[in-house]
Structure 1
Amino acid sequence: MNDNTPFHWLGEQIGRLLRLVVDGLAWVLTHIGSAFSSFYHGLGQALGISPTLTSLIVLLVGLALLLSGLRALFRGRIFAAAIAGIPGIAILSWLIQ
């Protein structure tokens, strides 16, 4: 088979271009994952929590409840603020010890 044809050259160039795109995407995704992991380990170390997915979910739930309580307080709904804010504070204090 003759490897000096224009179609062979074109196939090699397209293959190289695809390889470059795939390698670039792999590099970007690896660095994004590494950045997220470093961020979460730093966050966990600063808060004194273990860097696990469960801890992250509990932290997000506690923050959401606290935010909901603050929003209710700013709207003048004191009872609703207590209903959402007190469990949020309790969850965060339990988690952060």
Structure 2
Amino acid sequence: MRVEGFFEGLGHALGQMIRFIVDLLSGALGAVADAVDDFLHGLANAIGMDSSIFSIILLIIGLLFLYNGVRALLRRSIFGGVIWLLLGLVVMGWLIR
């Protein structure tokens, strides 16, 4: 009878410790997720686009096109640079209201 009380208490203490760790990690990851969400909404509002995942992916693609265009121009590839820049501007133009 006495042993059952000991193991019950030990299990209760272990359960409370696990619950504390889970709550701590949940709070920390929730705060990070809220910060990322606020950042993406602020970015989308400043640019004037929707804050959907599709819009964010298109923004990244458009920025990569513009980056490739600038790199091509720095390598003195005028034709390739102009094509990349035009593609980037088209994609960015679709996003911005």
> In which range does the TM-score fall when normalised by the shorter chain?
0.7 to 0.9
- Cα deviation for residue 53 of structure 1 reads 1.2
Q: Which consecutive residues of structure 2, in runs of 5 or more, have no partner in the other structure?
A: none
Quote the residue 1:63 is aligned against.
63
Q: Does 1:96 align with 2:96?
A: yes
Question: What is the TM-score normalised by the length of structure 1?
Answer: 0.84
Q: Which amino acid aligns with 1:89?
A: L
Deviating beyond 6 angstroms after TM superposition, the runs of 4 or more aligned structure 1 residues are none
Identity of aligned residues (%): 36
Question: What is the TM-score normalised by the length of structure 2?
Answer: 0.84
- Cα deviation for residue 69 of structure 1 reads 1.0
Quote the residue 2:36 is aligned against.
36
Q: Which amino acid aligns with 1:37?
A: D
Q: Which amino acid aligns with 2:65?
A: L
Number of positions where the alignment pairs a residue of Structure 1 with one of Structure 2: 96
Aligned ranges for residues 35-54 of structure 1 at < 5 Å?
Answer: 35-54=35-54
CA offsets 1:16-75 (integer angstroms, 9 cap, x no match): 221111111111121111111111111111111111111111111101111111111122
